[in-house]
Amino acid sequence: MNSRLKANIINTTSIILIYIILVLLIRIGFINNYYEGILIEMGINIILAVSLNLATGYLGQLTLGHAGFMAIGAYTAAILSARMNLPDLPLLLVSIVLGGLLAAFFAFLMAIPVFRLRGDYLAILTLGFGEIIRVIILNMKITGGGKGLSGILPLTSFSTVYFITVITVTIFYTLINSRHGRAIISIREDEIAAEAVGISTKYYKTFAFTLAAFFAGVAGGLFAHHTLVLDPKDFNFIRSIEILIIVVLGGMGNLTGSVLAAIIITILPRLLMGFADWNMIIYSVLLIAMMLFKPGGLLEKREFSLNGLLSGKKKSQGNTPVKNEGSE
Amino acid sequence: MDVLAKFLQQLINGIHVGSIYALIALGYTMVYGIIKLINFAHGDIIMMGAYFTFVCIVTFNLPIGVALITPVILCLLSGILIERVAYKPLRNSPRLSALITAIGVSFLLENVFFKKFGQNPIPFPQIINPSPISLGPLQISRITFITVLISVLLMILLDLFIKKTKPGKAMRAVSEDPGAAQLMGINVNSTISLTFATGSALGAVGGILYSIAYPLIDPFMGVMPGLKAFVAAVLGGIGIIPGAMLGGFIMGIAESLTKGYISSQLADAVVFGILIVVLSLKPSGLLGKNVKEKV
């Protein structure tokens, strides 16, 4: 049995095991509605962080407009699902995929001006696009404008979010370890050298940016059918920054780091709830402290690997291809 | 005539807001020029300036001159402190880590003031008599007059400071090449502190002027003007001081004209739209030099 197959079996088994355990806990009421909501938000944040990590961590382009794509996905999915007649699960899937596609379409259009720029100019341009999307949504009739969009069907459940998250992480993991992924990473490492060896930087930048936007849109669709009320304020640039915090905290270009950081950042404010109105102060102090003591992110360049853990091997380092990872 | 008068009125309003944006943008651009950091906490310096002034006037009843100088000094000191505690340890780390710390500092300041003063906006005391001065059909508020006067004066002073004085030259040298500046005997650390001090002091003045113009202050009031000022800095070419001033005025005028003629809700979209158009045509801002990439 080769090691890749073994690794896949271990990962698949553990994903299913975690799922079964969580569902059992929900069934017996150990995880109540409130905690289930947190689990769903965790999944959504993981999708957002992992997708932003592709654009910012692997491609190396700081983008601050991720919330804009999330907003496009959320509103599109919410509006579509209210107008289509399908059973619950296909309805959710169709509407979030369409929402993701629309977000990807806009990202594709934006990529033309965005990738003429570099560094912080690029960052601020994406921030500008994100804010424009928000203001346009605020001024549209179909989105409910400033009053918000309500009456969204409650289609998002723990199971759908869990599996969509797993699928997303798997897709990104596979992509990163494919030749396309290596092309994307090479652009981050040295754009000119990448171009010199024949990588079409324009193509790969647009591709990574569009794919990231697609998954931001999907996460938005899940978010819409979870919160059931959408307000353009949910998608301001602070939201984009929250996603960026997760990515940097987990480590740039570290997929499992993003997953871990997304879980922490989702739980942390809730854990601090006990401190009443001190919670946000403690949260920001913790954020500063984590950055000061771990500037490279929680996991830095190491990817968390379940197989590595089981076989007691040293965790794989830096740029060596990572054989495997646990998804949760 | 009426059309012209309305246009001029909007223009004057635009210059009013624009001069405030320009003051705030200077802080962003100076810090960026010297340590290449988008200082997200700068917007909160604006808010601190407003709250400190409020406390000085309402709580301590200080005479107006002292009440306006104290907040500027306090903000200046906070600027230095923030840099020392939160940014300096990360000077050799990945740039994004420092960015996240800046965001952390921003959250921290907002929430400390949120805890102290609560969420509800507090009315800001009236410092300048708002009665307008009439110039033919135009009504120019005294506030506008004084705001523009103070801002332009400060910008001229800053320009002189940067160009003529030794510390100013040191600032330019460090922003050009910190390593070489250090070899020339410039104390890089204190120059960076000085940059933060100057930027924060200007931000505090901007904050006070902003609260005089829109006399309701709340803990999150700095976010939007901060963001717009930052966009102004990018528009003019980030790191370039005249660029920040120019960008500030363009932003203010564009915003005010949109509010007057199109829709006040779309003003933010137009502001960012201008940014996108300008950056598409000039990728490093209006006054930015396009650096050719060398292999």
Question: Which tens digit of pLDDT belongs to each residue from A24-68?
Answer: 888 888 888 888 899 999 999 999 999 999 999 999 898 999 999
B17 in a structural domain = yes
B289 in a structural domain = no
A321 in a structural domain = no
Question: Number of structural domains, chain A?
Answer: 1
Q: What was the pLDDT predicted at B30?
A: 92
The CATH number of the domain holding residue A251 is: 1.10.3470
With an 8 Å Cβ cutoff, are A280 and B107 in contact? yes
Tens-place pLDDT, residues A193-233: 999 999 999 999 999 999 999 999 999 999 999 999 999 98
With an 8 Å Cβ cutoff, are A287 and B269 in contact? no
How far is CA B124 from its chain centroid?
Answer: 19
Which residues of chain A are within 8 Å of residue B32 when distances are taken between CB atoms? Answer: 120
Torsion-angle region of A230 (φ positive above 0: left; ψ -120 to 50: alpha; else: beta): beta
Q: What was the pLDDT predicted at A312?
A: 56
The CATH number of the domain holding residue B28 is: 1.10.3470
Residue A100's pLDDT band (boundaries 50, 70, 90)? very high
When pLDDT is averaged across residues B176-202 and rounded to a whole number, the result is 93
Contact B47, B227 (CB under 8 A): no
Tens-place pLDDT, residues A253-310: 889 999 999 999 999 888 888 777 788 888 889 889 888 888 888 777 777 777 666 6
Q: Looking at the predicted structure, is the pLDDT value of residue A1 above 70? A: no
Torsion-angle region of A327 (φ positive above 0: left; ψ -120 to 50: alpha; else: beta): alpha
Q: What was the pLDDT predicted at B119?
A: 82
**DSSP structure class, residue B85:** I
**DSSP structure class, residue A272:** G
With an 8 Å Cβ cutoff, are B115 and A281 in contact? yes
Q: Please enumerate residues of B whose Cβ is less than 8 A from a Cβ of A.
A: 32, 36, 38, 86, 89-90, 93-94, 96-101, 103-105, 107-108, 111-112, 114-115, 223, 227, 230-231, 234, 238, 263, 265-266, 268-269, 272-273, 275-276, 279-280, 283-285, 293, 295
Residue B260's pLDDT band (boundaries 50, 70, 90)? confident
Measure A131 CA to nearest chain B CA, in Å: 7
Q: What was the pLDDT predicted at A39?
A: 92
When pLDDT is averaged across residues B126-152 and rounded to a whole number, the result is 83
A328 in a structural domain = no
A323 in a structural domain = no
Q: What was the pLDDT predicted at A317?
A: 41
Q: What was the pLDDT predicted at B141?
A: 85
Q: What was the pLDDT predicted at B209?
A: 93
With an 8 Å Cβ cutoff, are A192 and B108 in contact? no
| CA B141 – CA B213 distance, rounded (Å) | 10
Residue B233's pLDDT band (boundaries 50, 70, 90)? very high
Which residues of chain B are within 8 Å of residue A238 when distances are taken between CB atoms? Answer: 223
When pLDDT is averaged across residues A67-77 and rounded to a whole number, the result is 95
Which residues of chain B are within 8 Å of residue A137 when distances are taken between CB atoms? Answer: none
Q: Which of B33, B57, B29, B25 is nearest to B215 (CA)?
A: B57
Which residues of chain B are within 8 Å of residue A278 when distances are taken between CB atoms? Answer: 115
3-state secondary structure B158-217: HHHHHHHCHHHHHHHHHHHCHHHHHHCCCCHHHHHHHHHHHHHHHHHHHHHHHHHHCCEE
When pLDDT is averaged across residues A244-249 and rounded to a whole number, the result is 90
The dihedral sign for the CA sequence A227, A231, A233, A237: positive
Q: Which of A321, A282, A290 is nearest to A303 (CA)?
A: A321
A147 in a structural domain = yes
With an 8 Å Cβ cutoff, are A117 and B276 in contact? no
Measure B128 CA to nearest chain A CA, in Å: 34
Contact B181, B193 (CB under 8 A): no
How far is CA A184 from its chain centroid?
Answer: 18
Which residues of chain A are within 8 Å of residue B97 when distances are taken between CB atoms? Answer: 248, 291, 295-296
- Which residue of chain A comes nearest to B270, CA vs CA? A132
Domain limits at A244? 3-311
B236 in a structural domain = yes
Question: Number of structural domains, chain B?
Answer: 1
Q: What was the pLDDT predicted at B203?
A: 95
Measure A89 CA to nearest chain B CA, in Å: 36
- Which residue of chain B comes nearest to A252, CA vs CA? B96
Which two tokens mark B229?
A: 């000022």
Q: What was the pLDDT predicted at A290?
A: 86
% residues pLDDT > 70 (chain A): 93
Measure A80 CA to nearest chain B CA, in Å: 26
B294 in a structural domain = no
% residues pLDDT > 90 (chain A): 46
Q: Please enumerate residues of A whose Cβ is less than 8 A from a Cβ of B.
A: 56, 62, 113, 116-118, 120-121, 123-125, 127-129, 131-132, 135-136, 138-139, 192, 237-238, 241, 244-245, 248-249, 252, 277-278, 280-281, 283-285, 287-288, 291-292, 295-296
Q: What was the pLDDT predicted at A311?
A: 64
| CA B81 – CA A144 distance, rounded (Å) | 44
Domain limits at B74? 2-281
A316 in a structural domain = no
B291 in a structural domain = no
When pLDDT is averaged across residues B107-136 and rounded to a whole number, the result is 86
- Which residue of chain B comes nearest to A63, CA vs CA? B96
Q: Looking at the predicted structure, is the pLDDT value of residue A314 above 60? A: no
Measure A192 CA to nearest chain B CA, in Å: 7
